Structure 1
Amino acid sequence: MKYYIIAGEASGDLHGANLMKELLKEDPEAEIRFWGGDLMQGVGGTLVKHYRDLAFMGFAEVVQNLKTILNNIKFCKQDIAAFSPDVIIFIDYPGFNMRIAKWAKEQGIKTHYYISPQIWAWKENRIKAIKRDVDHMYIILPFEKDFYEKKHNFPVEFVGHPLVDAIHNRKSTNEAEFRKEHDLDNRPVIALLPGSRKQEIAKMLTRMLSVVHDFPDYQFVIAGAPSQEYSFYQQFLGKSNVKFISNRTYDLLSIAYAALVTSGTATLETALFKVPEVVCYKGNWISYQIAKRIITLKYISLVNLILDKEIVKELIQDDFNTKNIKVELQKILTPEYREKLRKDYDLLEEKLGGGGASQKTAGLIIEHLT
C-alpha cells in the first residue's frame, strides 16, 4: 500500500519514524512519502519537505509567514494527488494538517490522524472539522478519550504514548564515554532544553543562561536541536563555560541531574527520564496576550495536565525571570523534593499506557485499510 505521512515538527519526526518502522514490518512492500525530518528519512521512503522549513510558532509569526504557509499547502495537495496514496497519516501539526484533511476527504482519500490536535486546550470548535474530515483518530493522552467520546461522541483509539517506547527501547548511554566525548567534567549536569525553533531558542536561552554563575557546582549543558547549526547558538554563549551538545538530547537527559525545559513535548520526555525539571515559556508578547485569552487550561506542561495537578513548576512569560529560575532550580536539587517527584513521575508513566503505541497504531491503520 501507499502511505503519505505529514509531520511538521521535531516530535512528529520522532513519532513518524517509529510509526514508519512498524508499518514496514506489517507491510514490507509499503511505499511511503512524507513530510518530516532526519529520523523519518533514516527509516526510508521519500522525504518531500523537512520540518525545519515549516515551523512557525505563535499567532504573529504565522501571519508574518502566511504566504509561505499557503504555498506549502498548495504544493502538498499537488504532491499527494501525484502520489495517489491509499491513506494519508497526519501527525499533530493541526494548522496545516486539518486543511489538507479537508481537501483529502473531498478527494476520497482515507484520512488517519495519529496524535490528536490539542483541541481540548483551544480551538475546540475544530471538533466539527475532525468529525467531518478524519476517518480514524489515534490518541496518545489518556484524558483525550473521554474528551472525544463522552463530550463529543467521536470514537477514538487510545494507543498509549509513543515516547514510552522511544525512551525504553533506546540504546543505553555509557555515561563515562559520553562525558569524555563531549569534554564534560565530573560535576552533576543541568540540561538546558530551549526548544527547536530559532524564535523560541532566542527567547529562552538567554534567560536560562542567566543563572549559570549561581550554581558553580553544576555543569550546564545546552541540548542543541538537530534542525539548528551550532553557529546560531554561539551568539548566546559569550564567555560562559557552558557546554553545547547537538542532537543527543536523550543521551544528555539520561545523565542529567536536573533540567530547565521549554514547554512542549520535551517536558514529558524529561519526566520519563525521571529528571527533575522546571518548565519554562516566554513567547511573542502579542501571541501570548491572544493565547492567554483563549486558552483556559490550568497548566501548560503535559506532565501537570496528565496528572491534573502541579507536579513540576511552570514559569510562564514574566514569571520566567532570573530570580524565579534560581529559586525553582534550587528546589529541584534538594533530596526531599526529588524523591517526591520521582514517585509522581512513576505514576505519570503508568497513566501513559504499557508501551507499543507505534505498533498498535500501525496495526490499526492497516486493519482499517484491508
Structure 2
Amino acid sequence: MKYYIITGEASGDLHASNLMKELKIQDPEAKFRFWGGDLMLAQGGELVKHYRETAFMGFLTVVKNLGKIKANFSLCETDLLKFNPDVLILVDYPGFNLRMAKFAKKHGIRVHYYISPKIWAWKESRVKKIKAYVDRMFTIFPFETEFYQKHNFEVSFGGNPLLDAIENRPNKEEGFPDFIKRNKLGEKPIIALLAGSRKQEIERVLPVMLECVDSFPDHQFVVAAAPSIDAEFYASVVGDQNVQFVYGQTYDLLQQAKAAVVTSGTATLETALLRIPQVVCYLTGGGKLLFTIGKRLLKVKYISLVNLIMDQLIVKELIQHTCNKEMIIQELNQILFNKEYRIQMLYNYQLLNEKLGGAGASARFAKMIYEDLQR
C-alpha cells in the first residue's frame, strides 16, 4: 500500500519513523512519501520537505512567512494527488494538517490522524474539523479517549510511542564514567537542564534555571542542547555561568542525571519515563496580563503531561511568577535530598509507565492502521 505521512517537527519525525518501521513489518510492500525529517528518511521512501523548512512558530513568524506557508500548502496538495496514496497519515502539527485533512477528504483519500493535536488543552473547537475530515484518530494519552467521547467521536488508544523511543534508545547500557568521559564532563553528580528546543523559550527560561547553579556546588549542571540551536546562541544566553552542554543527547544525559529542571512539554514525560526526579518550569512572554488571559483559555488543570496523565500533582509545576530561583532551589533540594519525597516520585513514575501501556505502541498502531485499510 501507499502511505503519505505529514509531520512538522522533530518529535513527529521520531514517532513517524518508528511507525514506518512497524508498518513495513505489517505491509512488506509499503511505499512511503512524506513531509518529515532524517529519521523518517532512514526508513526509506521519498522526502518531499524537511520539517526544518516548514516549522513556523509564533504569530509574527507566521505572518512574515505567509508566502512560504501558502506555497507549502499548494505543493502538498499537488503532491498528494499525484502520489494518490491509500491513506494520508497526519502526525500532530494541526495548523497544517487539519487543512490537509479537509483537502484529502474532499478528494476521497482516507485520513488517519496519528497523535492527536492537544485540543483538550487549547482550541477545543478544532474537534469539529477532526470529526468532519478524519476517518480514524489514534491517540497516545489515555485521557484523550474520555475527551473525544464527550464529543461523540470514537478514537483508538494504543499506548505511547515515547516508550518505544526510550526502550530502543542508543547508549542505553552506557555507564556514568563512560558518559562523562565521552562528553568531557566532570565527575560530580549531574543536574540536567532541559530548556526547550526553540530560541524564544530558551531565552525566557534558561536564565532563570541558571540562577540556581551556585546553590549546588557539589553538582554539575549540564544543558541538553537542541541540535537545531547553534552554540553561539547558547553562549549569548549563558554568559559566564558554570554550565556544560551536550548536543542531541537528551536521553543519554537524563539517564545519567540525579535530577532535572525541565521546561513544560514532551520533555516532562520523557524525563519521567527515564525515572529522573524533576521540577517543571513554564514561562510565557507578554507579561502577567497575557499569562492571565492565556490561563483562562486553557482547559486543563495541569501544564505537565506527567500530571495530566495521572490526573494528580506528581511533579511540581512552577509557572510564571512561581518560576523563580528560590522555588527551583527549594524543589531541587526536595528531589535530591528528601529520600521519602524522591522515592514517592519514582513510585508514581512506575504507575505512569503502567498507565501508558508499556512499550510496543508503534507496533500496535501500525497493526491497527493496516487492518483498517484492509477492511
Range class of TM-score, shorter chain: over 0.9
Q: Distance in 2 between matches of 1:321 and 1:146?
A: 35
Q: Shift in Å at residue 54 of structure 1?
A: 2.8
- 1:172-229 deviation digits (Å, cap 9, x = unpaired): 1412211101012221111111111222222222221121111111111111113223
Is 2:16 the counterpart of 1:12? no
Matched residue of 2:5: which SS? Answer: strand
Matching residue's letter, 1:49 = K
Between 1:344-353 and 1:322-331, the stretch displaced more is 322-331
What's the secondary structure of 2:89's corresponding residue?
strand
Contact 1:31 1:45 survives alignment (8 Å): yes
> Which residue of 2 is the match for residue 303 of structure 1?
306
- Output the CA distance in 1 between the equivalents of 2:283 and 2:141: 25
Which amino acid in 2 is paired with 1:10? A
Cα displacement (A) at 1:360: 1.0
Q: Does 1:346 align with 2:350?
A: yes
Q: d(CA) in 2 for partners of 1:317 and 1:179?
A: 33
Contact map agreement 2:180 2:186 (CA 8 A) in 1:
yes
Give 2:128's aligned residue: 128
Give, in whole Å, the separation in 1 of the partners of 2:205 and 2:232. 17
Q: Is the aligned partner of 1:79 residue 2:82?
A: no
Q: 1:155 to 1:105 in 2, by over 3 A?
A: same
Q: Which residue of 2 aligns with 1:145?
A: 145
Matches within 5 A, 1:323-334: 323-334=326-337
Partner of 1:252: 253
1:209 paired with 2:202, answer no
> Structure 1's 64 and 326: CA in aligned 2 closer, same or farther, altered over 3 A?
farther
- For residue 5 of structure 1, give the secondary structure of its aligned residue in structure 2: strand
Q: How does 1:170-189 map to 2 (within 5 A)?
A: 170-171=169-170, 172-175=172-175, 176-189=177-190
Change beyond 3 A, Cα 1:278–1:54: farther
- Does the 8 A contact of 1:173 with 1:254 survive in 2? no
Per the alignment, residue 154 of structure 1 pairs with 153
Task: Summarize the Cα distance change of 1:22–1:247 in structure 2 as closer, same or farther, 3 Å threshold.
Answer: same
2-structure distance, mates of 1:203, 1:56: 19
For the Cα contact (< 8 Å) 2:196–2:263, is it kept in 1?
yes
Matches of 2:282 and 2:346 in 1, distance apart? 23
Contact 2:314 2:345 in 1 (8 A): yes
Q: Which moved more, 1:230-239 or 1:18-27?
A: 230-239
- CA drift at 1:304: 0.4
Q: Which residue of 1 aligns with 2:359?
A: 355
1:239 aligns with 2:243: no
* Contact 1:141 1:161 survives alignment (8 Å): yes
Q: For residues 219 and 329 of structure 1, what CA distance do their matches in structure 2 show?
A: 13
Post-superposition shift, 1:67?
4.0
More moved, 137-146 vs 171-180 = 171-180
The separation in 2 between residues aligned to 1:356 and 1:127, in whole angstroms, is 28
Residue identity opposite 2:336 in structure 1: L
Please give the alpha-carbon distance, in whole angstroms, between the structure 2 residues aligned to 1:189 and 1:165: 25
Partner of 1:2: 2
**1:303/1:114 CA distance change after superposition, 3 Å:** same
Match for residue 293 of structure 1 among 277, 291, 296:
296
Q: Say whether the 8 Å CA contact 1:55–1:197 is kept in structure 2.
A: no
> Does the C-alpha gap of structure 1 residues 18 and 345 become closer, same or farther in structure 2, counting only changes over 3 Å?
same
CA distance in 1, matches of 2:36, 2:12: 7
Moved more, 10-19 or 267-276: 10-19
Q: Secondary structure at the match of 1:221?
A: strand
TM-score scaled to structure 1, two decimals?
A: 0.94
Partner of 2:272: 271
Task: Supply the AA of the counterpart residue of 2:30.
Answer: A
For the structure 1 residues 195 and 354, does the alpha-carbon distance in structure 2 shift closer, same or farther, using more than 3 Å as the test? same
How far the C-alpha of 1:277 sits from its partner, in A, is 0.8
Q: CA–CA distance in 1 between the matches of 2:328 and 2:50? A: 34
> 2: CA distance between counterparts of 1:62 and 1:288?
21
Residue 99 of structure 1 pairs with residue 102 of structure 2 = no
Q: Measured at CA, do residues 360 and 98 of structure 1 come closer, stay the same or move farther in structure 2, by a change above 3 Å?
A: same
Q: 1:244 to 1:214 in 2, by over 3 A?
A: same
Q: Unaligned regions of 5+ residues in structure 1, if any?
A: none
Give, in angstroms, the shift of residue 323 of structure 1.
2.2
2:160 partner amino acid: H
Q: Identity over the aligned pairs, expressed in percent?
A: 58
C-alpha change, 1:317 and 1:74, in structure 2 (3 Å) is farther
TM-superposed CA distance for 1:14, in Å, is 1.2
| Number of residue pairs aligned between Structure 1 and Structure 2 | 369
DSSP-derived class of the 1:17 partner: helix
Is the 1:10–1:196 Cα contact (8 Å) retained in structure 2? no
- Which amino acid in structure 2 is aligned with residue 343 of structure 1? Y
| Conserved? CA contact 1:224–1:244, under 8 Å | yes
- TM-superposed CA distance for 1:290, in Å, is 4.5
**Residues in 1 aligned to 2:326 and 2:271: alpha-carbon distance in whole angstroms:** 23
Aligned partners of 1:320 and 1:159: how far apart in 2?
35
Q: Which runs of 5+ in 2 are unaligned?
A: none
- 1:23 matched to 2:26? The reply is no
Residue number in structure 2 paired with 1:200: 201
Instruction: Kindly state the Cα deviation for residue 298 of structure 1 after the two structures are TM-superposed.
Output: 1.0
